[in-house]
Every structure is written in C-alpha cells, then in structure tokens.
A and B are shown apart, each in its own frame.
Chain A
Amino acid sequence: MAKVELKHIKKVYDNKVTAIADANVVIEDKEFAVLVGPSGCGKSTMLRMIAGLEEISGGDLLIDGERVNDLSPKDRDIAMVFQNYALYPHMTVFDNMAFGLKLRKFPKDEIKKRVEHAAGILGLTDFLHRRPKAMSGGQRQRVAIGRAIVRQPKVFLFDEPLSNLDAKLRVQMRMEIKQLHKKLDATMIYVTHDQIEAMTMGNKIVVLKDGDVQQVDKPMTLYNDPANHFVGSFIGSPAMNFLKGNIEKSDRLYFKSDSISFSIPENIEEQVSTLAGKAVTLGFRPESIYDHDYEDRAQLTEKNAITIDVTEPVGAETFVYFTAGETELCMRSSSGLIYENNQEINIGFDVSRLYFFDPESGKRLV
C-alpha cells in the first residue's frame, strides 16, 4: 500500500525563483501517475522532491500518510529510474541490481533470488555478468528498472526514462513498463514531456505548466474535458485548434470571428448565453471538423467555406490544413475523401465538441 500525497508543496530556489508554487496532488495506491508538461514546468523538480533529492520549501509530502519531508532518500522506500540510466559503470549488471540490497544488509541468497527474479522479468538473465559498457541503451534501461524492482519499494519513480532511446524501442519499452506496472501492482510516478507517452501509460495524468498544476485527471478526461486553454493545446496530436472571436446575440447566439461564424447550438445555448457580448477563444479538435458537403450530421454547425492550404495524407486519415483569418487550423478527415491543395470546401463543427476559453486567463468557460 502506498499512497503519495502532495499538500501545498512549494519549491523556491535560493535565487528566489519559484519552481513550484502550490501543488496539491494525490496519487492513490497502485496508480500509474504521469507528470507531464513542457520543459521547465517543474515536473522533474516535483519528482525529485518526492524522491528526496530536492529539498521541499513548503507544504507536506506524505507517503502512506506519513510525512516524509525530512527523511533522506534511502529512508523513503522509493526507487528511481533515471533518464541517463545512472548505472554504476564499474559493476556488473548483477552488482548494479544488488547494490541497494547489499547496503540494506539483505542475506546473500535473498539478494540472488530477487536479482534473478527481476532479471527474468526483464529478459536480462543472460547478461548478469556483463558490464553496462557492453550493453545497448535499451538493455541498460532495463538494468536500471531492474535495480528499482529488486528493492520492492513502495513507490517507483521514473524520470523521463525513455527519452534516450530511439523511437521504436521507446514504443516497446512503453508497453513493457506498462505491463510491469500490472505485474508488480505498485504505485508508479512517471515524468515525461511527451504527451503521447503520458496518454498511453498513465491512469492518472498531472499536467503542469510554469510550476502550476493545471489539471489532474484520467487521460481521456483530459482529452475530452480540458480545464483550460493550455491543457487543451498540450494534450492531443495534432493539437487542438483555437480561434479568437466573440459571442454575439441577435435573434439567437452566434460565434463570430473574422472568417468563421456559426450559430451556437441549442444544447449549449443556455450556458453560452452568459458569455454574450464577450470575447472568447473557441477550441475544437481536428477531428471535430467535418466536410459539410459529405457529412450531413445533425450535430454540425452551419457551413463555412475555406480554402485548403496543405494536405497531409498519413494513411488511415488525412490532415487538412487551412487558414481562417490569421489562424492556421487543422482538420482530421478519416472519410477517405481525397483533397487537393487550394481546393475550396465547406466545413462544419461538431457542436458537442466545442470548448470556450477565456482569452485572457485561458480558463475554460463552457
């Protein structure tokens, strides 16, 4: 059982730079939590504070209900996997994995049993007597994971463990770590800047920006229900489209921008009515745009004519880029229709998938 709680956690560096302002996150037992955000958002700092490698400037860090702020890393019962593997170059794979157990004075046969078990899980059995130098990047990262497994810690911490691997290996290791989580049934906290890694691996995602927690949710909730402009733009690839405009009220409510306008659908009219006369940023995913001439769905907005700039067929779907006013937008078409550059088409938006953000604060309004 290991529940990790961050209560009003703060990190201020000596030179008065605030890395993390006031973080409140609860990671439940056996959860796979991913801290994600652009570089410099404080995600690694947060992980390192949980590990005890970074001092906590304020607030409480609880593991299993016990305040561990002042405990040294070795007493927190955590294990960490580093981006650069951080294997001891002068030790064999076996010794690398056994080192932590030896320091904790485990009996020899217990150490052997645990190391061999972990090596079995990670497919390292044949490499136990090699030095890290004689291994590939993927194998080294497995050793680093093995070093964490043998300790059987309360919490596993991963600090961008896959970013040094090539693309193919990364996808493979991603699955392996996920399966490992299932097998070990342990609490894991994983830091990455890659939103795809976050979406595919975590069952809870913590989105960070500039040291502030933006949203904590399940992956699909983040995708479908972003709390603000940043989360909307950060999660999903291609990114969410944003369009600046106004909500205007005449006979009914309208969204109007310099190029695209439509009437606000009835189902959200009541919520949007509070925004009447205000400037908003409209957000919509590429897959919420449809070719109006071919998709005659009830929930589409009125037609808007646009001219295609560029198309990117990627196989199962085609990304269609066009400019509305000064904003570049992207439409994801999986209809199998073939589009040409400079072609004029009529588009409509899926009314159930529109997000309205405050253009100033970025907060989600509707």
Chain B
Amino acid sequence: MKQIKLSKIFFWLLLAVMTVIYLGPFLFSVSISFNAEGDVFSWPIKLLPEKWTLNNYKEAWEGLPFSTWLRNSAIITAVQTICNVFFASLAGFAFARLDFPGKNIIFSIFMASLMVPGIILLVPKFIILNEFGMINTYGGLIVPGLVSVVNIFLMKQFFETVPKDLEEAALIDGCSYFRIYWQIFLPVSKPALAAVAIYTFQGAWNEFMWPVIVSTTSDMFTLPVGMSFLKNEFSVNWPILMSGTIMISLPTLVIFLVFQRYFVEGVASSGLKE
C-alpha cells in the first residue's frame, strides 16, 4: 500500500513540475502583455503587472497591420488544413484499400522522402516557385503545404484498421470505391481526420520559415512573420510582442478544445463485433 502511495506522490510531483515548466512561461507572457513597457525591465521582477493595461493589445491590433496578417494566416491555414485532410485521406485510402501497380514502390518513395530534412528543400522549392512567378503570392505560400506525407501515412495506417467487411458490405450495397471512401470510411475515421486537421492547422498557423522566405512585402506576411518584425536589432517591444503572441495562440487553443474529444473517442467500429 505504502509503495503505491509513494509512486503516486512521485507521479503528481512530476506532473506538477512539468506543468510549471510548460505553463510558467506562458502565464508570464500573459502577464507581460498586460504590462506597460517601462515596467517590464523593473527590478526585482514583478510576476504580476502593477497597473493592468489593455494598451498593448490595442497597439498591436491598430498600430501593426495585424488584421492583414491575420487574414493571410487564416486563408493559408484554412486552405492547407482542408486540402491536407482531403488529399491525405484520399491517398491514404488508395494505399490502404486499393490494388494498383507500383503501390508499394510509390509508398516506399513517399516514406523515403521523409528522411530528407525539410530545410534542404527550401532553396529548390524557392527556385521552382520563382520560375512559376509565385513568390510573394498566396499560391507560393499555400501550394507547398497542400499535402504532407506524414498525414498520408497516418490516414493509411488508420484506414487499414477499418474492417474489410465494411468495404465489402458497401460494395454489395452498390457503392463505388469513391463512395465507399466518402460515405463509409470518412465518417468512421473522425479521430484520425481530427488528428490530421489539428496537426496541419497548428503547423500551418505557426509556420515561420517558409512564409518568411516567400513573402517579401508586409501585406503578404503571416502573423508569425509579422510578429518577428517587432524584434529588431537593438530593441524588442516585449509587451506588444507578447500581446500579439497571445492573440496568435488563441485559435490553436480553441481548435484543440473543439476537436480533442475525437482524440479521446477512439475508433468508432461499434457496428462490428468488438
């Protein structure tokens, strides 16, 4: 009995430490975002602002082209998320359920491409998009992220767990393969689709490297790129940077809260014998 209790205490302690490590900086940035600029560097450090102010948020929203960057980020993220969910599930379905020549070879090539570090591809991607005249356009920002091998792999793995009987029952009921994908496989794959959607959303929303390379004028910046310009060589306006950062992180939080139940729900295969 005593041993169990000890391990429990250790477990809670570990959780508490981890929570502080992750939550601490976030709460501190929340605190800073409500602080007047001068107070940030006062000593000793004040964990809570002496005078709460919303000025930083106002300034970030009005002083910067925040709404333009928000629009850019929203468009890019929405298109990439929708396309990833659609293309990854479509390709995953094909790899998991259809028989076509070269299936295994193509899939191996896809997998092998994961071993190439993304950073190596920045220059070739830039050159290619430049040839197409897509630098500093939505196309240039969006197209390279329309589909991801990791998502295809994820969907393939998930679709392989869907019992073959379901597919065959649908075939006998008169479904085409596209309809099986659309009306049977997609609805039973909500957890996997939610995972792909959340990962893609988060990745696209927070993406910094590619947008900073492809966008050359402020009107094509995304939020993370725009925010980075608050830091210049000699000074950083911390309160405004932090208020911007907090605003950026809100959508991710909301999306996660909305979709997390699909993570928990597990596989919806209850029409079959467990």
Interface residues of A (CB under 8 A from B): 51-53, 72-74, 78-80, 82-90, 96, 99-100, 103-104, 131-133, 137, 140, 147, 164
Closest to B175 in A: A103
| B171-193 CB contacts (< 8 Å) to partner A | 171-175, 179, 184, 187-188
**Seed contacts A73-B171, A84-B273; 15 additional CB < 8 Å A-B pairs:** A51-B168, A74-B172, A84-B272, A85-B272, A86-B166, A88-B169, A88-B170, A89-B188, A99-B170, A100-B174, A103-B175, A131-B270, A132-B270, A132-B271, A140-B271
Q: Tell me the complex Cα distance, A311–B224, Å.
A: 84
Q: List 20 A-B contacts (CB under 8 A).
A: A51-B168, A51-B172, A52-B171, A72-B171, A73-B168, A74-B171, A74-B173, A79-B172, A80-B168, A85-B272, A85-B273, A86-B166, A86-B168, A86-B169, A86-B271, A88-B166, A89-B269, A89-B271, A99-B170, A132-B270
- The reply to whether A84 and B165 form a contact with Cβ atoms under 8 Å apart is yes
Closest to B186 in A: A90
Q: Tell me the complex Cα distance, A87–B171, Å.
A: 13
- The reply to whether A90 and B188 form a contact with Cβ atoms under 8 Å apart is yes
Query: Known contacts being A86-B163, A86-B165, A86-B166, is A99 close to B270, with CB within 8 Å?
Result: no
B158 to chain A, nearest CB (A): 14
Closest to B267 in A: A89
Q: Tell me the complex Cα distance, A297–B218, Å.
A: 109
Q: Which of A78, A79, A84, A104 contacts B163 (CB 8 A)?
A: A84
CB of B54 closer than 8 Å to a CB of A:
no
Interface residues of B (CB under 8 A from A): 163, 165-166, 168-175, 179, 184, 187-188, 268-273
- Of all A-B residue pairs in the complex, the 3 with the closest CB atoms, nearest first, are A133-B270, A89-B271, A87-B271
Is chain B's binding surface mostly helix, strand, loop or mixed?
helix
Closest to A148 in B: B172
Closest to A132 in B: B271
- The reply to whether A85 and B271 form a contact with Cβ atoms under 8 Å apart is yes
- The reply to whether A103 and B173 form a contact with Cβ atoms under 8 Å apart is yes
Which residues of B sit under 8 angstroms from A99, Cβ to Cβ?
Answer: 170, 173
Q: Tell me the complex Cα distance, A132–B163, Å.
A: 15
Closest to B169 in A: A86
Closest to B184 in A: A88
Q: Tell me the complex Cα distance, A30–B171, Å.
A: 24
Q: Tell me the complex Cα distance, A89–B179, Å.
A: 16
Closest to A78 in B: B172
- The reply to whether B172 and A164 form a contact with Cβ atoms under 8 Å apart is no
Q: Which of B169, B175, B187, B270 contacts A80 (CB 8 A)?
A: B169
